[in-house]
Amino acid sequence: MEASSSIITHPLNLNHKPSSFFNKPPSLRFLPGVNKTVTLRRFHPHTRRTAVAPPSYFTTKIAGDRCVFPLDKSSGQRPLLDQCTRFSCFHHGRRKRFPICKSSPGAFSDKSVFHLSKHGVDNIFGKRVRVPCAAVGPDEPHAASTAWPEGVLEQQSSDSFTVNSESSEWRELQRFLGAQLPSHPKLVRGQLENGLRYLILPNKVPQNRFEAHMEIHAGSIDEEDDEQGIAHMIEHVAFLGSKKREKLLRTGARSNAYTDFHHTVFHIHSLTSMQDSDEDLLPSVLDALDEIAFYPKFVTSRVEKERRAILSELQMMNTIEYRVDCQLLQHLHSENKLSKRFPIGLEDQIKKWDAEKIRKFHERWYFPANATLYIVGDIDNIAKTINHIKAVFGPKHVAETPVAPKTSAFGAMANFLVPKFTGGISADSSSDKTSLPMNQSKLPKKERHAVRPPVEHNWSLPGKHEDLKSPQIFQHELLQNFSINMFCKIPVNKVQTYGDLRNVLMKRIFLSALHFRINSRYKSSRPPFTSIELDHSDSGREGCTVTTLTVTAEPQSWQGAIKVATQEVRRLKEFGVTKGELARYLDALLKDSEQMAAMCDNISSVDNLDFVMESDALGHMVMDHKQSYESLINVAGTITLEEVNFIGAQVLEYISDFGKPSSPVPAAIVACVPKKVHVDGVGEIDFKISPSEITAAIEEGLKEPIEPEAEFEAPKELITSTELDDLKLQLKPSFISTGLDSNAAKVHDNETGITQCRLSNGISINYKISKTEKCGGVMRLIVGGGRAAETPETKGAIVLGVRTLSEGGRVGNFTREQVELFCVNNLVNCSLESTEEFICMEFRFTTRDNGMRAAFQLLHMVLERSVWLEDAFDRARQLYLSYYRSIPKSLERSTAHKLMIAMLDEDERFVEPTPYSLQNLTLQTVKDAVMNQFASDNMEVSIVGDFSEEDIESCVMDYLGTVRASKGADMALSYDPIIFRPSPHNLHFQQVFLKDTDERACAYIAGPAPNRWGYAVDGTDFLESISKVSVSNGVQPETEGQLVKSDNNNFHMQRSRNHPLFFAIAAGLLAEIINSRLFTEVRDAQGLTYDVSCELNLFDRLNLGWYVISVTSTPSKIHRAVDACKNVLRGLHSKNIADHELDRAKRTLLMKHETETKSNAYWLGLISHLQAASVHRKDISCIKDMTKLYEAATIEDVYLAYEQLKIDDQSLYCCIGIAGAKADDEVSGSLQEEEYVGGLHGVLPVGRGSHAVTMPTT
């Protein structure tokens, strides 16, 4: 079983707080910071996400074969267009399309149930300023076409403002702007004689590891009408059928694969060499990729196995979100094959292909000259690496002549689809066999396109005088809100010169203003929109640059929302940005780029590789971050306000000049709307809308009178030095004894670098100086209490209160807008989060230019002078009301909700607040509930970053020491008992039926477990109980192998079992092993599912936890899939854990831990709760001994943890969700049917029709 199938909750995140998924309202958040102004349409093929989107009380997953810790970005957020364009053997997390402009009322992000992400959209140190660093390979034959129609570029430049082109300054500027950008000094390119291209980039993070990705330039766009989905099928069969890949996994390597429109990628993450051997693993990795890509075995049994998996995947992915995405892509690319070739394929065709049909497609496209190998990692000897590449891929592969597709295949595209190879491939190659030499005429037909993807677009260009397309409407009963997308599509502009970079910078500055304007202009309690996003990004997969205006709203307010969006776009286009906005956003972008340059040597290999691959597809120049920053500085001094407004206005013309003969015609306008809408006092009524009404709303918004934007002054500080001095004089802050080490006021651990101290007002402080992320820092305030402290009279008060504070965004005398601009100017991101156990406030900041002091100032103001607004409370309540009403429209959420209600005896603290509870709350109620927990003796602040001891302690003393002392921990930490529903009762097994046009099924299986520290809900203490059991009388059954021995002789087994972290370590290994078995048995052997995972949800403060198995299948197989999952869960005694299973689990988790220790966010999770009185057992040993505990763990230890899971019939809960068009009893009846369809046992014909496309395995 592949490591990539593992899905667990890792015990290493010692601060993980299980969070109710239902605490999360729709994506309505603004995190102040420059990141909201930056975007590139990108994707992340490496982290797996579960399409079922399990509620986050079913904790964060380890996905694909990358362990995902709870500090990683939650997968709840979903990009719009990046979901239906890539498929893989396992799920992958998508890199979010960062919107250049996203507006929603609220100054702070409410991150309830979302955890701090190292690389998320809310991360100012994530990969945000991408175009400046923007990228690679201008001459790569697979790069997207950037050919503009004749005369368009000339027309655009001639329309510019008047300049004196005769001046020497002008000529000098033009020479500079036309100069080539510098290329990455470490990037090595090459090509073998057989045409295989390779790119090598040395990168030291993480050490002793590398990424190797084999990209085949073939995907769903290359499929013929009877081959739809065959590229994805080949990916599955080739990848999972490779014996060499399986063998490689024993070394701790991780692997995965994915397919999208125009390429298929197989990737392996590996050690450079084994710790106990000097053997170089690169040859073995390359050998495995060679077998997967070029020598797969299309064995009938493997083909049938993967056929079943893909059919299950097809149904699993077909959520309403995926169907919306498909609608958008179908209309955006209606003129070409991108609208008809979703990688998952068509069900009826997938059922029919035999091994020979699949093999022929492989022979046509999978050959070295149509592939690129990327190697990024800790590689010192480039020459040796190249020799390895030649040794593996050179001798066996005879240079073959791929042929260009016939002219008729792509019509007008044929003139630029002729391959242009340097390896002796003629531009006159023909597919006519008679023109080939005799020995080549017998070779399989080889094809390769010079431009990827090989499609022709209808560009949205000014002056084309095309007729407006009528808005398209997608209406469905599972949709809850109104959304509309207006698309503009233009060719990709390669970023290769300083002039190209300058244009990108000017666009970013221009579009950065839109978010703030919309957010600051609309402060009513019921703004007509939910969110407004403007995205302008390049897509290598789609071969174009797309501008998208996305407006979401409550259905009743859709017309007002459209009017607001179009009015503000027109205002910005007509009047442009102000001088103040230009200065503000230019400065912010330069600071951000400077920050990235400072972190240049700390970017991970996988992130660098993603960037290089996407840049290859776009034809950009690749620079490192230092070059990027220097280049930005060089061009920044040349831009003018007039040019910024001219360049930016071009991006918005398709909206601002909508309907004018000379304006660009939108590529598509697509509205996605519900069939029913809730009206207070009435109930559900039909929702009616027409294309003409949409057009009229757009036109009315453009007719509204507009005025220029007024200049807005941002505060330089939130608390003055005079105010601070007065507070210090009055409160006399100091450090007091921590109680950890005699009477020491500060305790420092040399091994970990962690310092613990405590302020005189009772606030506990943990900090660690880290140089791994240069000039960057993260901070987290944790307040004990959370939703567990809600009483029957205040149900929902904490989650609604946190959202209210987020919506308001005001502190002291500063408005929400001033606070946001303060954060923008200082590169500070702030977010709020509420969970069952805690309220958290998280910050990311730069340690340059007083950025850390700015973050501390904001934290001080929130604690001391937060402002609670009635209109913010109304908005927050409306969001949760809407969210609650949307639950019955989601199969996964309604299924999980029903299970949680049954298991936790209808305890509303663990699910979303009901409308009844929400209506009973008042602003004063939620304010009191939240602020009562914000007592200074109930606060712990942890900070990790690149700062000095003097600087951090100065900030702590100035801004946290001056928080007024208050007592309240005892009250905040008290809570009504939490119980699992007593047995016996009839709710152990339940079903949910959802009426839908398409069939899907999912299930959750859950039961009680202790918390992270071994405390159970019945009061038992795991550590205390096992201390009474001698090692010789352990609970492990007899096994065929010996217990895994510790390599650390000084860490005795009995000592490890007395360790506070023992249960978390053993439980994490247990979950890893269970996941491996679930994949092997339920998916691979029995073919009952595409996705199955086990997670442990372990609380820190509350004395309980639970395990959850989530599985997807078809309605005809879901009951058998559930039974198979139960058998695996209960089968660890009948099929004993083997040595190799434990070894593999250890390697996986230790490798992840070692890698993540380079991250500030990971360390923030480790040091959180070190001084939390409510987390009794956590201390510094939990961090220092982690590796030793893993190494010392035995099979017996895993069984000790296993015995703590309640898996008997009286404790285990299950809920099955089934969606389909049939009535409940008919669906139930169909579950008993088993048919042979296309030779497959148990596949029920469901007849999706021609639009049978499903959610991608991204």
Q: Which residues are catalytic?
A: 235, 306
Q: Are 595 and 603 in contact (CB under 8 A)?
A: no
**Residue 1096 token pair:** 């442990």
Q: How far apart are the first and last CA of the chain?
A: 20
Residues 6+ apart with CB under 8 A from 179: 497, 498
**Residue 620 token pair:** 């950009």
Per-residue CA distances from 364 to 195, 227, 261 (Å): 15, 13, 17
DSSP states along 975-1031: -----PPPSS-S-SEEEEEEE-SS-EEEEEEEEEE--TTSB-TTS-BHHHHHTTS-G
Please state the three-class secondary structure of 789-839 as a single string.
HCCCCCCCHHHHHHHHHHHHCCECCECHHHHHHHHHHHCCEEEEEECCCEE
Q: DSSP class of residue 1074? A: H
Kindly provide the b/e burial profile for residues 707-718, where b requires at least 16 CB atoms within 10 angstroms of the residue's own CB. Answer: eebeebebbeeb
Helices (H), 394-539: 407-410, 438-441, 498-521
Q: DSSP class of residue 687? A: -
Pairwise CA distance, residues 1171 & 1169, whole Å: 5
DSSP states along 862-879: HHHHB---HHHHHHHHHH
**Residue 218 token pair:** 């073939």
What are the E-state strand segments in 835-913? 838-846
Helices (H) and strands (E) in the chain, counts: 39, 31
Burial class (CB in 10 A: 0-12, 13-18, 19+), 560: middle
- Among residues 544, 622, 581, the alpha carbon closest in space to that of 131 is found at 622
Pairwise CA distance, residues 1105 & 1097, whole Å: 5
Q: Are 125 and 599 in contact (CB under 8 A)?
A: yes
Burial class (CB in 10 A: 0-12, 13-18, 19+), 974: exposed
Pairwise CA distance, residues 109 & 29, whole Å: 5
Pairwise CA distance, residues 1021 & 1028, whole Å: 12
Query: 1095 φ, ψ to 5°?
Result: -135, 145
Residues in the chain: 1258
Pairwise CA distance, residues 912 & 797, whole Å: 11
Pairwise CA distance, residues 1138 & 126, whole Å: 40
